[in-house]
Amino acid sequence: MTQINHQFRLAARPVGMPKRTDWKYVEEPVRQPGDNEVLVKTLYLSLDPAMRGWMNEGKSYIAPVEIDAVMRAGGVGKVIASRHPDFKEGDEVYGTLGVQEFATVQGKTLTKVDSGLAPLPVYLGTLGMPGMTAYFGLLEVGKPQPGQTVVVSGAAGAVGSVVGQIARIKGCRVVGIAGGEQKCDYIVNQLGFDAAIDYKSQDVKKALREHCPNGIDVYFDNVGGDILDAALTRLARNARIVICGAISQYNATSAVKGPSNYMSLLVNRASMTGMVVFDYADRYADAMREMAGWLAAGKLKTREDIVTGIETFPETLLKLFKGENLGKLVLKVA
Ligand code: NAP
């Protein structure tokens, strides 16, 4: 019997927030693997803010998804057929599987994972790409020193929640900026941040003055826009700003809002550096080992926000832009 593969393909380049009509939900027969290929049944998909950027035309750090192509997504799944020597039926793997139920991919693009060590969705969050982003962005670009003040925005999300916890492990004072009381309560009372600022109900500039009396040594920016501008007003001398993302601008229909307070970099001899996680790919294994150790020791907590049903993909993706996820947003395929 022919197996059927349901997929989301990009139908149109969105203007502003993506709409249902920007997608095509299609079905086609599952393609059996050729030489060196592996057929994977997708179990969980990673939903990432970056997906919004991949839907746009134009040059970025990675090629855009073509119109009619299966939407790009990282995922974990189970091998159901293999013609690659390193993989056999039943292996659990991570790869760029796409928003589809089955993926036929080159074996060399897959990495084995082990649900005996951590539940599979964790390999999409804390032990996956967002966790690696937090680890390398903070430690290699932010270079926090014990006793310094680290501020992170998007603090209750996949990257931000890990940034704050690693900064605590490294002996820093950590202030998180997040939207709403529940998220602020979570990062302080569950994750051990020193303070939280609710940007939806508080004056961020004023709150930063209160919580960072000696200024900000490292600002890890996930959101850009007004919050980046507010952080710039509070820098300590030699501060490092890590430009990880700017989610507040991803659906903008007019020009991206840039920082106006950038002269603070000059006054404070500070730096602002962009980072792309893929540049550290050859060191992921070492970082994962260290992070897994922190998880096992209870020093690092992980949280996944799991929604079930591949057919909900267009609406579930929007949770990221509406701030409806707490922790790593994951789509359970069935
Ligand atoms: P996430 O934080 O788990 O989810 C996105 C969160 O962004 C939402 O929950 C929401 O939280 C916040 N948000 C949405 N709209 C906002 C707005 N207008 N203003 C302020 N906050 C807003 O997502 P993630 O996967 O961890 O990604 C976080 C950032 O890292 C993104 O900018 C992403 O593009 C970036 N990233 C970069 C790399 C890299 O290599 N450079 C790799 C991975 C991710 P609130 O409820 O708190 O608003």
Residue 1 has pLDDT above 80, yes or no: no
How many A from CA of 67 to the centre of ligand 1? 25
138/172 Cα distance (integer angstroms):
12
Q: Are residues 143 and 70 in the same domain?
A: no
Query: Looking at residue 313, what is its pLDDT?
Result: 98
Query: Looking at residue 59, what is its pLDDT?
Result: 83
Q: Are residues 321 and 249 in the same domain?
A: no
Q: Are residues 162 and 106 in the same domain?
A: no
Range of the domain at 321: 4-125+303-332
Residue 290 maps to a domain: no
Q: Are residues 256 and 152 in the same domain?
A: yes
Lining ligand 1 with CB less than 6 A are 48-50, 129-130, 133, 154, 156-160, 178-180, 183, 222-223, 244-248, 275-277, 320-321, 323, 325, 329
To test ligand 1's pocket by mutation, which of 222, 303, 305 has the most ligand atoms within 8 angstroms of CB? 222
How many A from CA of 40 to the centre of ligand 1? 29
Residue 140 maps to a domain: yes
241-272 tens-digit pLDDT: 999 999 999 999 999 999 999 999 999 999 99
Higher pLDDT, 1 or 327: 327
Confidence of residue 2 (pLDDT cuts 50, 70, 90): confident
Query: Looking at residue 222, what is its pLDDT?
Result: 98
114-167 tens-digit pLDDT: 999 999 999 999 999 999 999 999 999 999 999 999 999 999 999 999 999 999
Q: State the total domains in the chain.
A: 2
How many A from CA of 298 to the centre of ligand 1? 25
Q: Are residues 121 and 150 in the same domain?
A: no
Least confident span in 17-21, 58-62, 108-112: 58-62
To test ligand 1's pocket by mutation, which of 47, 124, 223 has the most ligand atoms within 8 angstroms of CB? 223
Atom 39 (ligand 1): residue with closest C-alpha? 276
Q: Are residues 135 and 86 in the same domain?
A: no
Atom of ligand 1 nearest to the CA of 158: 26
52-109 tens-digit pLDDT: 999 999 888 899 999 999 999 999 999 999 999 999 999 999 999 999 999 999 999 9
Residue 180 has pLDDT above 80, yes or no: yes
Residue 334 has pLDDT above 90, yes or no: no
Indicate which CATH number applies to the domain containing 138: 3.40.50.720
Q: Are residues 88 and 13 in the same domain?
A: yes
Indicate which CATH number applies to the domain containing 322: 3.90.180.10
| Residues 285-313, mean pLDDT to the nearest whole number | 97
How many A from CA of 37 to the centre of ligand 1? 34
Q: Are residues 102 and 185 in the same domain?
A: no
